[in-house]
Amino acid sequence: MRFSLLPRAMQFFDMFDEVGAILTRASAKFVALVTEWDRVPERSDDLRHEEHACDEAVGRIIKALDRSFITPFDREDIHTLVGRLDDILDNMEETAHRFAVFRIDRPTPETVVMARIVQDCCAHLAGALQSLRSLKNADVIQTHLQAITRLENEADKVYRDTVVVAWPMPSPASSSSGPAGGRTRPGGARASSSSATACPPLCARSSA
């Protein structure tokens, strides 16, 4: 009777694919949330369910990691990988939750751009995860990773440009007037540093 440990090692790739599929599905729902902008509480709850599904999938990987003698690659790297993948959906779900509880009137165009970048990154991550099964796919994996790096640079530019527009540097005349510690917003309104932190410039907050 032949005995092989390889099938148990290969199960990790199936579970990686499961997490990749959850991320892809959740990122599409996140884009729908910011573009359709209806049923926001329900859409936020839907993303919470996806986050729980991802937690369960990651938990199965960690459990298999603890029970397996042979793993596809270093077990510490697998642990780090799935933890980072879980963080992606945690952040999407938390953002959706804040959309609901902060009563945002409507996301800014920059928010939509950022959401689409997240969706593209998740698609490339899923593609990279699917390619882990064979060392022959090293070039394919590198292509996905390079695309993610390019998308990250685009997201950085969107964020920085948005911050500059939302909170321009005050002129010397305006900075010398008004209470200390405040910032000049477009239109002359001032905000403390704490309120600036509470309301990110990428989203438009309700005036209610």
Strand partners, 191: 183
Residue 9 has pLDDT above 90, yes or no: no
* CA 208/CA 113 separation, integer angstroms: 26
Lookup: tokens for 76: 């510490």
Is position 1 within any domain? no
Q: Write out pLDDT tens, residues 43-75.
A: 999 999 999 999 999 999 999 999 988 899 999
Q: Write out pLDDT tens, residues 69-116.
A: 889 999 999 999 999 999 999 999 999 999 999 988 999 999 999 999
Is position 100 within any domain? yes
Is position 93 within any domain? yes
Question: Could you give the percent of the chain with pLDDT greater than 70?
Answer: 78
* CA 43/CA 184 separation, integer angstroms: 35
Which range among 33-37, 176-180, 201-205 has the greatest average pLDDT?
33-37
| Residue-level pLDDT at 91 | 97
Domain containing 98: what range?
A: 7-163+198-204
Q: Of 117, 118, 112, whose CA–CA distance to 204 is shortest?
A: 112
| Residue-level pLDDT at 195 | 38
Residue 137 has pLDDT above 70, yes or no: yes
Is position 139 within any domain? yes
Is position 181 within any domain? no
Kindly provide the residue ranges of all beta strands, DSSP E only, lying in 9-132, ordered along the sequence: 106-107
- pTM for the model stands at 0.79
Domain containing residue 73: CATH number: 1.20.58.220
Is position 185 within any domain? no
Is position 170 within any domain? no
Q: How many separate domains does the chain show?
A: 1
**Distance (Å) of CA 154 to CA 7, 94, 117, 140, 151:** 40, 22, 8, 21, 5
Residue 184 has pLDDT above 80, yes or no: no
Is position 21 within any domain? yes
